[in-house]
Amino acid sequence: MLQGKVVVVSGVGPGLGRAVAVGSARAGADVVLAARSGAVLDEVAAEVEQAGGKALVVPTDITDPAAAARLVQSTVETFGRVDVLVNNAFAVPPVLPLAEVDPADVHTELDTDVFGALRLTQLMSEHLAATDGSIVMISSVAARQSRPGFGAYKLTKSALIALAQTLATELGPRGVRVNVVVPGSIWAAPLRQYYDYLASERGVTTEQVYSETAANLDLRRLPEADEVANAVLFLASDLARAITGQCLDVNGGEYHH
């Protein structure tokens, strides 16, 4: 699906970012790995190369304009092109009612989730236009719901969808497609750790917490990181060359959109 392409993934961690990076390599791409944590980047780079792709590790804080510019420069110097940008980076939101949250904390989240994605898009748009490239933004189920305490997260992830739709209109004439994947709960390491915590607090097993959550999904199971990554790879690939400005929800039937 991505043979010969160069994929840049921001926010590479143990969950979806890792799955997108490794999945891209399995699909034939070389992968540029960007995140703040160098240790995680090195681990994922080894998996990318084991999967058959070349990996470029660029520790990057995408809220820093100079660091973001170095990411683009390093990518082009190493591979000579950019075909796909996956804006996956996000900041942990404050879990408080919007009526009580410090606006500065929301601004910090926006800096990563929205302005960081916009910055990388602006810096890479010329290179993406040269390859008829693709951008995939990673939103969240929070954008579809109004759960108490998740207002700040909904605000930023909804803004990311609006950003993608506008960029699709602006960049479409230059051959660049922009789409969004909206995951529900992803059964990967971060969520497993959270469910372990919930189970210990309640005195039940992690499997019980999982089963209670999955009971509300049509498929009765939570999507795994690789399954969500497959949706990202589809939208990034030429199989989706007529698709832009769209949101693809991957949630196992948690809700219908």
Torsion sign over Cα 238, 89, 94, 118:
negative
Compute, in degrees rounded to 10, the torsion defined by CA atoms 151, 10, 13, 159.
Answer: 10
- What's the confidence (pLDDT) of residue 196? 94
For the chain, state the CA radius of gyration.
Answer: 18
The residues with which 138 forms a beta bridge, in sequence order, are: 181
Question: Can you give the residue ranges of every domain in the chain?
Answer: 6-185+224-250, 187-222
Under CATH, domain 6-185+224-250 is a member of which superfamily?
NAD(P)-binding Rossmann-like Domain (3.40.50.720)
Say how many Å lie between the first and final Cα of the chain, rounded: 26
Please identify every residue annotated as catalytic. Answer: 153
Angle, vertex CA 66, rays to CA 62 and CA 67, nearest 5: 45
pLDDT value of position 93: 81
pTM score of the predicted model = 0.94
pLDDT digits (tens, 9 = 90+) for 148-203: 888 889 999 999 999 999 999 999 999 999 999 999 989 988 889 989 999 999 99
| Angstrom distances, CA of residue 211 to CA of 22, 32, 225, 227 | 28, 36, 18, 19
Q: Are 58 and 36 in contact (CB under 8 A)?
A: no
To which H or E segment does residue 3 belong? Answer: none
pLDDT tens for 45-62 read 999 999 999 999 999 999
Pairing mode of beta strands 6-10, 84-87? parallel
Residue pointed to by tokens 């991505």: 2
Q: What angle do CA 118, 227, 27 make, to 5 degrees?
A: 75
DSSP-derived 3-state class of residue 251? coil
Q: Return the pLDDT at 94.
A: 82
Encode the chain (257 residues) as per-residue pLDDT tens digits: 999 999 999 999 889 999 999 999 999 999 999 998 778 999 999 999 999 999 999 999 999 999 999 999 999 999 999 999 999 998 888 888 888 989 998 888 899 999 999 999 999 999 999 999 999 999 999 899 888 888 889 999 999 999 999 999 999 999 999 999 999 989 988 889 989 999 999 999 999 999 999 999 999 999 999 999 999 999 999 999 999 999 999 999 998 98
Q: Specify the residue for token string 């070349």.
A: 54
Whole-angstrom CA distances from 173 to 137, 170, 176, 238, 246 are 19, 7, 7, 17, 16
